Amino acid sequence: MRLWLLIPVLLAVVLDARAPSAQQVNFVIDAKLPVRDTELPYTLDLNLTAAAPTRIGVGALLDLREIQKTVPEQLADNAIIDNCGLQVRLDDLNLKAENDAIGLDGDVTITIFECSRTGERDFHRGEQKRAILANMSTEATVELRDNCAYFKLIDLTLTAPEAQREQLLQDDTLESVKELTLAAVDLVLNETPLCPELPAELASLDPVYDKGGPREIGEGGLGVFLDGSVDFSPSTILDILTVLQQQELIPGPP
């Protein structure tokens, strides 16, 4: 067997992976997504396939269903926007994947306050003018940058009760809230990219992902796929052999 066909088998031995054939290896890695002062768990399902004498194809499926369940609970009753004259609170959020799209919908409370300037950069929030319960719906996609997956909102729709819609359209409140919400959410999403890290045994492989996007897992389950490759160099092969020797799975150097 050629050495490049042997590499996936060696990886399977090192990581106790499932090896359906000599040219393909699948294994599952528990990972965490750092989000400000907390970490959200997800699962990385990695597939390595022998593709060429010096290259291994890499397919990564990030199973985000646990995040899909916990994020709405953590965001409930939190303010998306909170400035002098405007507060937008997220009352409810539902995330659902469908084929290669991610849908988000929920209820928000838009509260408008009196706001007066008290200095060059200082403002004072006054009395509440009105509060509106609106529905928010949007779709998200995934952008691949620097080997990381970034979520990005495609657009956002806000709808308000009929009784308040005319006034909101007249003073352009919904459009302003929409623009501010998109900016605020995009800021958070840009701070929390998904950058899958391999365990120490595979760190030297350093895969390069060149394609990615949303992927539905099961019925409505949120996932992200990444496709790429690994260029095998002699040093990479030596690293893998060293791990095998350290674990006494193959004889050490004479």
Q: What is each CA distance from 173 to 110, 127, 210, 211, in whole angstroms? A: 9, 18, 40, 38
> Token match 């409810």: residue?
92
Q: How confident is the model at residue 17 (pLDDT cuts 50, 70, 90)?
A: low
Q: Are residues 114 and 23 in the same domain?
A: no
pLDDT of 120: 85
Helix (H) or strand (E) holding 183: helix 173-191
Q: Are residues 152 and 239 in the same domain?
A: no
Report the alpha-carbon distance of residue 194 to residue 171 in Å, rounded: 39
* Choice among 91-95, 217-221, 228-232 with the minimum mean pLDDT: 228-232
**Phi, psi of 180, rounded to the nearest 5 degrees:** -65, -40
Q: How confident is the model at residue 28 (pLDDT cuts 50, 70, 90)?
A: confident
Amino acid of residue 117: R
Residue 236 per-residue DSSP state: H
Q: Where are the beta strands (DSSP E) in the chain?
A: 18-21, 24-35, 38-52, 55-63, 78-82, 86-98, 101-117, 123-145, 148-159, 208-217, 221-231
Q: Are residues 94 and 165 in the same domain?
A: yes
pLDDT of 1: 39
Report the alpha-carbon distance of residue 81 to residue 71 in Å, rounded: 18
For residue 11, pLDDT over 70 is answered with no
pLDDT of 247: 63
Q: Are residues 105 and 184 in the same domain?
A: yes
Q: Are residues 76 and 46 in the same domain?
A: no
Report the alpha-carbon distance of residue 78 to residue 101 in Å, rounded: 25
| Residue 254 in domain | no
| Residue 103 in domain | yes
Report the alpha-carbon distance of residue 103 to residue 73 in Å, rounded: 17
Counted domains in the chain: 2
Q: Are residues 50 and 119 in the same domain?
A: no
CATH code where residue 100 lies: 3.10.450
| Residue 75 in domain | yes
Q: What confidence tens digit (pLDDT) does each residue in 161-188 have? A: 776 666 665 566 778 888 888 888 888 8
| Residue 253 in domain | no
**Phi, psi of 206, rounded to the nearest 5 degrees:** 50, 65
For residue 132, pLDDT over 80 is answered with yes
Q: Are residues 142 and 215 in the same domain?
A: no
- In DSSP terms, 117 is beta-bridged to 123
Q: What confidence tens digit (pLDDT) does each residue in 100-124 have? A: 889 999 999 989 899 999 988 899 9
Domain that holds residue 35: 3-66+200-246
* Choice among 20-29, 54-63, 127-136, 182-191 with the minimum mean pLDDT: 20-29
For residue 220, pLDDT over 80 is answered with yes
For residue 3, pLDDT over 60 is answered with no
| Residue 102 in domain | yes
Q: Are residues 83 and 186 in the same domain?
A: yes
> Token match 């050490």: residue?
252
Q: Are residues 9 and 87 in the same domain?
A: no
> Token match 């992976």: residue?
17
